[in-house]
């Protein structure tokens, strides 16, 4: 896939057109883009938000986008182009409502006609006035209730008087009979045997629910929870173990979040997807190998003294697949020696095969 920057005739100062091929699967209506510096460590921020370049990836809304066959045309204005320098190669990432698209584009920026002054900052919208709470409606006046009329209580009629000695005598006889019956019941009663409750049979164990498949959509949902970089790295490894094509694409999104957060192992994993030596359609979530992109990610890992990243970067320098200032087989040997000093066994074996000291 290739990208091209042009400023069509008659365009306003700062307006430009970015044409990207092979991205016809993206939705132009919800398209967003992120631009990183060549080392992939600084990202273009929203214009007027403070510093032009920050350490967190920011998704920017273009002025417009449309599909022309297999060509995606992205229109940008001076708020995005003002802080881009001519003849510098940036990294361009794309996303739409379905999530981030796998892979990045190398965006070689060209000199365009800019405004004579910096674009004005966007005015912050005034807060909406708070809605006044409605006053409570007055409660209806309660009417006084009439007092309840009660009937006069009826006085009990006096009981006829009995003989003074007859009542105590009858009470004594009844008490003796009750005492005798109670003693007989207490001496001859049987203790009830409590029923033994049968323990219910345990319910049958339900079969374990099948695990949900790991896809690009589940990775995007996981990233919306704002995981820490270490958690994103652990989740990316789980996606790579699952191994399906969609899971590997989800792993790339998770690796990128972890690498942006300072996890050098994640940067090495992304570089290996681009590296022509380790690229494979099944294990690489990028459309084709790209040695220069692999170099950028390996260098990011090497800056953090990641032994695996140093080893792969050294082999890439020795292979001759990349060119540029400071890149040579000798530089590759020195990079392998740094990896060997960190205890990397394959780097030690490579140096021994080349006849170089460790």
Return the CATH fold of 3-108.
Immunoglobulin-like (2.60.40)
CA distance 211 to 109: 45
Looking from the CA of 97 toward its CB, the CA atoms found within 13 Å total: 4
Confidence at residue 164, expressed as pLDDT on a 0 to 100 scale = 54
- Residue by residue, pLDDT tens for the chain (358 residues) are 578 999 998 889 999 999 998 888 899 999 999 999 888 778 999 887 778 888 888 999 999 999 988 888 999 998 999 899 888 898 989 999 988 888 888 889 988 998 888 888 755 444 444 444 444 444 444 444 444 444 445 555 444 444 455 555 556 555 665 555 555 555 555 555 556 556 666 666 766 656 779 999 999 999 999 999 999 999 999 999 999 999 999 999 999 999 999 999 999 999 999 999 999 988 999 999 999 999 999 999 999 999 999 999 999 999 999 999 989 999 999 999 999 999 999 999 999 999 999 8
What per-residue string of b and e applies to 167-195 under the rule 16 or more CB within 10 Å gives b?
eeeeeeeeeeeeeeeeeeeeeeeeeeeee
Maximum separation of any 2 CA atoms in the chain, in Å: 136
The structural domains of the chain, with segments of one domain joined by +, span 3-108
CA distance 298 to 43: 18
CA distance 115 to 117: 5
CA distance 52 to 183: 101
Alpha-carbon 134 to chain mean position: 41
Confidence at residue 358, expressed as pLDDT on a 0 to 100 scale = 86
């Amino acid at each position: 896939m290739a990208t091209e920057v042009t400023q069509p005739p008659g365009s306003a100062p700062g307006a430009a057109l970015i044409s990207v091929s092979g991205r016809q699967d993206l939705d132009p209506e919800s398209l967003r883009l992120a631009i990183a510096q060549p080392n992939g460590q600084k990202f273009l921020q929203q214009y007027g938000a403070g510093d032009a370049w920050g350490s967190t990836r920011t998704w920017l809304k273009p002025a417009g986008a449309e599909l022309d066959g297999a060509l995606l045309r992205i229109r940008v204005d001076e708020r995005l182009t003002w802080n881009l320098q001519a003849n510098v190669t940036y990294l361009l990432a794309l996303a739409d409502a379905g999530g981030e698209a796998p892979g990045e584009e190398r965006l070689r920026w060209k000199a365009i006609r800019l405004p004579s002054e910096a674009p004005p900052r966007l005015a912050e919208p005034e807060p909406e006035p708070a809605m006044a709470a409605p006053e409570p409606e007055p409660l209806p006046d309660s009417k006084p209730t009439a007092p309840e009329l009660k009937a006069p209580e009826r006085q009990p009629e006096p009981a006829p008087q009995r003989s003074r000695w007859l009542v105590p005598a009858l009470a004594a006889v009844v008490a003796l009979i009750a005492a005798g019956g109670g003693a007989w019941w207490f001496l001859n009663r049987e203790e009830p045997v409590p029923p033994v409750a049968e323990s219910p049979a345990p319910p049958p164990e339900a079969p374990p629910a099948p695990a949900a498949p790991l896809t690009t959509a589940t990775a995007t949902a996981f990233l919306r929870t704002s995981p820490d970089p270490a958690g994103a790295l652990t989740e990316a490894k789980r996606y790579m173990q699952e191994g399906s094509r969609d899971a590997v694409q989800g792993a790339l999104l998770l690796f990128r979040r972890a690498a942006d957060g300072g996890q050098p192992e994640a940067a090495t994993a992304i570089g290996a997807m681009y590296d022509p030596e380790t690229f494979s359609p099944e294990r690489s979530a990028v459309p084709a190998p790209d040695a220069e992109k692999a170099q950028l990610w390996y260098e990011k890992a090497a800056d953090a003294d990641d032994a695996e990243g140093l080893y792969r970067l050294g082999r890439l320098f020795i292979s001759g697949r990349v060119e540029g200032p400071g890149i040579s087989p000798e530089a590759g040997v020195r990079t392998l020696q740094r990896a060997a000093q960190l205890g990397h066994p394959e780097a030690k074996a490579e140096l021994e095969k080349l006849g170089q000291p460790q």
